Structure 1
Amino acid sequence: MHGAPKYGPDFKHFDYVNPDAPKGGTLKQGVVANGYDSLNPFLLKGVSAAGIQVYTYDSLLIASDDEPFTMYGLIAESLETPEDRSYVTFNINPDARFSDGEPITAEDVVFTFNLLTEKGHPFYRNYYAEVEKVTAEGKLRARFDFGKTQNRELPLILGQMPILPKHYWEKHEFEESGLTIPVSSGPYTIASFDAGRSITYKRNPDYWAKDLPVNVGRHNFEQVRYDYYSDDTVALEAFKAGIYDFRLESSAKNWATAYASDALQEGRIVKQAVHHGRPVGMQAFIMNTRKHPFDNRKVREALAYGFDFDWANENLFYGQYTRTDSYFENSELASSGLPEGDELALLEPYREQLPSEVFDEEYHPPSTTGGTTLRDNLRTAMTLLNEAGYEIKNGKMVETETGKPLRFEILLHQKTFERVVLPFKQNLGRLGIDVDVRLIDTNQYVQRVRNFNYDMVVLSLGQSDSPGNEQRDYWHSSNADSPGTRNYMGVSDPVVDDLVAKVIQAPDRESLVTRTRALDRVLLWGHYVVPQWHLAVDRIAYWHHLARPDETPKSGIDLSRWWVKP
């Protein structure tokens, strides 16, 4: 994206793989969800099987994991783009093949682009919105023209596109694929599945790209299997019994107390906290500003004072977490202090449209440290609610003009999160606010989130070290009412729209950092979320027959580089 790539044209493999890793064995993983109903991961409709896009589809290029955003040839053996990056031409590797042995051509690339943007998940229309024209210039050359745009990221964005077979999808209904096993382009194919309960992928022995430098030391397992569990407690016990091999732990309580066993003590289970350097994004209580009362900024700000992170961290999380105060946490992209220099100059034209705090205060979410108590925070919340037009009547917080009580629902699909949400509910109850906590199954939850049918949810808004086009999907007003996009809060602000465009158009790394910090600062003071917490480690547990490379890149753990010990 910026500067020179780390790996030269003659590199043999990425630094963070074991080029001599043995092939073979099975990786068994557990998924806590209420099953799946689709083998097509590219649609808004349905819930697709775990791992299907990762294991069975290749893209034109592949990113390295030890650079902010650099991509190398996979299906495309080379590309051509001018200095202004106003177009890109991908030259397809003549050896590239689909899983049925048919060659991958430029026609497949053009077909894939049109199929995804016309019939696929709305994400693709947004992500590729600045592509003006796509053309097959011969059997192995596909050209994308971008029109009038300063988005230098587009050649890399197009390189991420998974490639689908035209000869297959012309004979099948893309939008109704259901559980029909499709022809694919990646290193694995689907070996078997039990609808909604398990799925097994097998390494394709005829995979054409297995010896490319970008794949050396990767895709080492002969098979990869996912088993579904409806309850996380059951899933953890299944792991400890050796029914599956690897677990990425999300629960601090489990990590602190639930792994004790003979297998752990004897070294048959390995339990490690592996440090990483990737941005952790924002995990938070997400407020839906499309709905009342979350359309009121002061109400949103007030609700944050009801969440006592410091109490939760000490009493529920064994002190493992750090409070999050940026959408780009754990990176140089995070805002801090007051805006100055180029960032201040960037924000200055918007001064009249932004809260004064953007310029005058450093953002930190409410806390109960440094002598501040929960009672102090609830008193601040009460003041903000009064300013927002609410008052207490008969012990309930009501809108002064209408008498309508302030009440909302927090939607969950993980039972383990109730212990976090219920104290939050209790604290807001002391302000006369009624909060309903509703637990639903995963599939229903996914559909409701996709259609923005909620008041408040708990979500993680992930970020990369090189933000770009995906920022439009998160924050742009054009996606505020577009189902399936990631503008979960319903952000619709012309200043945010402008800053998103500036991030996408950043000409160099320095300006990208400045513009992202400005965007971060404006979003934080919009009070769209109640920030929760983060970790700068991956908490992993695995059975000792698995092995991983000595070096872990900045992006963290990736099982595609692991192997089974002979």
Structure 2
Amino acid sequence: MTISFHKIARPMALAFAINGIGAALFAEPQHGIAMYGDPALPPDFVSLPYANPDAPKGGRVVTAEVGSYDSLNPYITKGRVPWQLRFLIGESLMGRSLDEPFSLYGVLAESVETGPNREWVEFTINPAAKFSDGSPVTTEDVIWSFEILGTEGHGRYRGFWEKVESLEEVRPGTVRFTFNVEDQELALLAGLRPILQKAQWENLDFTESGTDVVPITSGPMVISDFEPGRYISLTRNPDYWGADVPFRRGTYNFDEIRLEFFGDETPAFEAFTAGEVNFTREFNIARWETRYEFPAVQSGDVVKSVLPHGRPTGMTGFVMNTRDPLFADWRVRDAMLHAFNFQVINETVTGRAQPRIASYWGNSPLGMQEGTATGKVAEILAPFEDELLPGTLEGYALPAGDESQRNRADMRVAIDQMEAAGWTIEDGVMQNAEGTPFAFELLLEQGSSENLAMADIFAETLESMGIAMEIGVADAAQYKERTDAYNFDMTYYRRGVSLSPGNELYFYYGMENADTPGGRNLMGIKSPAADAMIDRMLTSPSQDDFVAAVQGLDRILTAGRYVIPFYQWNVSRIAHAKELHHPEYIPVWGDWPGWQPDVWWYEE
């Protein structure tokens, strides 16, 4: 196994090396496109650097999933869909390389061309491209897909569509997007939207599809069998049109990808130890070191792999809903952070083996620096000084906690902050001037036993402050319904962020989408400063400017105290049957959608 960390710096430098805007321009159709500069792979590349073009075909990979589903359409808001389906069945005009911050190469499109300032982008469809039913992929399908996703699809697709001035066929087999705003990323985002078959949906309601409709797509895998709540089986299409497309060589090698569903983590793990499941990820190092000594591991039939990556930490923790008056005051949120004794919780849950997340872009060059903001970061944050919370400009670090349950220093701060926000302890109960107790619910999804363990410890601490935290557990359907409607006080939160962040951040942290049902801005942040940082990322004229904008946003989010962070995963821990293999070279993004099951294969 090899992961070349010097390659992290190289693509990052390549991505940000801009001499004006000219370095990013294409004067004629190209095989690929990068956010800045040129893509790393040449026009005649054989395969992705982390794929094995000679990998054998056959076998199966079976994973255990906790929860259930009631829809097979990952492109709409309604319904519960296994998260993997969006990546396994949807094929786009271009595909993303996991070995570069943001570079795309042709899949359905055989070439891409942009205007002088990326005010437009053209894609020419590969004439061999076909849907799984054998019908050709046409420009009509492309145009319809963008229109339906942009108007009736999931919220993740709508922000892009609002920035499209026009979409038209400019010559046979070629479509052109013209944009109505200056945004360097739009040309790339256009290449990543799934292309669906228009004819399949002509007499159907796209927004209401459940398990009665299996989307027809052009990818290598098709849904061949399923039973809601039990399993989904995807099989390799033997007539897949794109087997010789360079981006696809050495990918989707399994004959079957099967998702088995379980009510909670215990039977899911038992299925793995029994051999009914042959691949699992472990996110808890304590369990990794204690539970994975069963006979199949000892005999070598199951392999344990620890794989590094170069991704930012992202943010994982308990998120507070600022739409709720209880958590609208930053001092209350700060009190919650001080009351959450990470040292004790980390000792209990992981044996103190995993470090804490310090910020959203930690573990990367884009993360905020310690101490007072300086240079460009200070310069671009300065106009928003009056609205920024304490710690944003002068520097912010999470409460340290201590090894004792009492955690007196932080608890003293927590109580002081609650008092500053108008809450005091009277007769053992935290209450406001009107005598209303401070009480809230932490909403968790059924089966999340690790989160529940942390919640129990947190609840005990809050009880000592006179705060009643009820732990509510909902099944998958109820949990999605409530979080989609932002009907919660506090809940579990996990958000991955990119080495090349862009338009998706409007959906995560933007004001415009803060109250859109089904959105991903769970904390409800509405900050002109945050929006300004995202705007600046997308129009940055230099490397320094881009990095400063991301670091500025990292400060705003972290000092905003919206999430109580857990521990970080800077490696992936994977246990799998010995017959499952992956190339030795691990991309910068590591274990991420696009790597597993994409480049794995089965071999006795």
TM-score in terms of structure 2 length: 0.91
Q: Distance in 2 between matches of 1:458 and 1:48?
A: 18
Q: Distance in 2 between matches of 1:288 and 1:546?
A: 42
Q: Distance in 2 between matches of 1:370 and 1:199?
A: 45
C-alpha contact (below 8 Å) 2:330/2:560 kept by paired residues:
yes
C-alpha contact (below 8 Å) 2:182/2:539 kept by paired residues:
yes
Q: For the structure 1 residues 43 and 133, does the alpha-carbon distance in structure 2 shift closer, same or farther, using more than 3 Å as the test?
A: same
Letter in 1 for 2:601: W
Aligned to 1:311: 344
Aligned to 1:476: 510
Q: For the structure 1 residues 222 and 370, does the alpha-carbon distance in structure 2 shift closer, same or farther, using more than 3 Å as the test?
A: closer
C-alpha contact (below 8 Å) 1:56/1:184 kept by paired residues:
yes
Letter in 1 for 2:438: L
Aligned to 2:290: 257
Is 1:167 paired with 2:199?
yes
Q: Distance in 2 between matches of 1:507 and 1:330?
A: 25
Q: Distance in 2 between matches of 1:443 and 1:31?
A: 15
Aligned to 2:28: none
Unaligned runs of 5+ in 1: none
Is 1:430 paired with 2:468?
no
Aligned to 2:185: 153
2:569 alignment partner, one of 520, 535, 542: 535
1:178 alignment partner, one of 189, 210, 216: 210
Aligned to 2:479: 445
1:11 alignment partner, one of 45, 49, 60: 45
Aligned to 1:36: 69
Q: Secondary structure at the match of 2:53?
A: coil
Is 1:344 paired with 2:378?
yes
Report sequence identity in percent: 38
Following superposition, the deviation at residue 369 of structure 1 comes to: 4.8
Following superposition, the deviation at residue 26 of structure 1 comes to: 1.2
Aligned to 1:101: 134
Q: Secondary structure at the match of 2:469?
A: strand
2:226 alignment partner, one of 175, 193, 196: 193
Letter in 2 for 1:83: P
Q: Distance in 2 between matches of 1:173 and 1:483?
A: 19
Aligned to 1:135: 168
Q: Secondary structure at the match of 2:42?
A: coil
Aligned to 1:564: 602
Q: Distance in 2 between matches of 1:440 and 1:279?
A: 30
TM-score in terms of structure 1 length: 0.97
2:238 alignment partner, one of 205, 210, 231: 205
Mean alpha-carbon deviation: is it higher for 164-173 or for 298-307?
164-173
Mean alpha-carbon deviation: is it higher for 363-372 or for 214-223?
363-372
C-alpha contact (below 8 Å) 1:286/1:458 kept by paired residues:
yes
- CA RMSD between the two structures: 1.6
C-alpha contact (below 8 Å) 2:319/2:523 kept by paired residues:
yes
Q: Distance in 2 between matches of 1:234 and 1:372?
A: 32
Mean alpha-carbon deviation: is it higher for 546-555 or for 369-378?
369-378
C-alpha contact (below 8 Å) 1:267/1:544 kept by paired residues:
yes
Q: Distance in 1 between matches of 2:208 and 2:521?
A: 26
Deviations, residues 286-311 of structure 1 (Å, cap 9, x unaligned) = 00000121011111111101111111
Q: Secondary structure at the match of 2:327?
A: coil
C-alpha contact (below 8 Å) 1:106/1:137 kept by paired residues:
no
Q: Secondary structure at the match of 1:358?
A: coil
Q: Secondary structure at the match of 2:399?
A: coil
Aligned to 1:215: 248
Q: Distance in 2 between matches of 1:4 and 1:109?
A: 25
C-alpha contact (below 8 Å) 1:127/1:470 kept by paired residues:
no
C-alpha contact (below 8 Å) 1:106/1:138 kept by paired residues:
no
Is 1:87 paired with 2:120?
yes
C-alpha contact (below 8 Å) 2:160/2:186 kept by paired residues:
no
Q: Which runs of 4+ in 1 moved over 4 A?
A: 369-373
Alignment of 1:261-276 (within 5 A): 261-276=294-309
Letter in 1 for 2:573: R
Mean alpha-carbon deviation: is it higher for 13-22 or for 169-178?
169-178
Q: Secondary structure at the match of 2:244?
A: coil
Q: Distance in 1 between matches of 2:107 and 2:415?
A: 57
Following superposition, the deviation at residue 387 of structure 1 comes to: 0.8
Following superposition, the deviation at residue 394 of structure 1 comes to: 1.0
Aligned to 2:528: 494
Following superposition, the deviation at residue 319 of structure 1 comes to: 2.2
C-alpha contact (below 8 Å) 2:132/2:219 kept by paired residues:
yes
Q: Distance in 1 between matches of 2:539 and 2:283?
A: 35
C-alpha contact (below 8 Å) 1:284/1:531 kept by paired residues:
yes
Following superposition, the deviation at residue 324 of structure 1 comes to: 0.9
C-alpha contact (below 8 Å) 1:152/1:505 kept by paired residues:
yes
Letter in 1 for 2:577: W
Mean alpha-carbon deviation: is it higher for 81-90 or for 173-182?
173-182
Unaligned runs of 5+ in 2: 1-34
Letter in 2 for 1:23: K
Following superposition, the deviation at residue 527 of structure 1 comes to: 1.4
C-alpha contact (below 8 Å) 2:381/2:529 kept by paired residues:
no
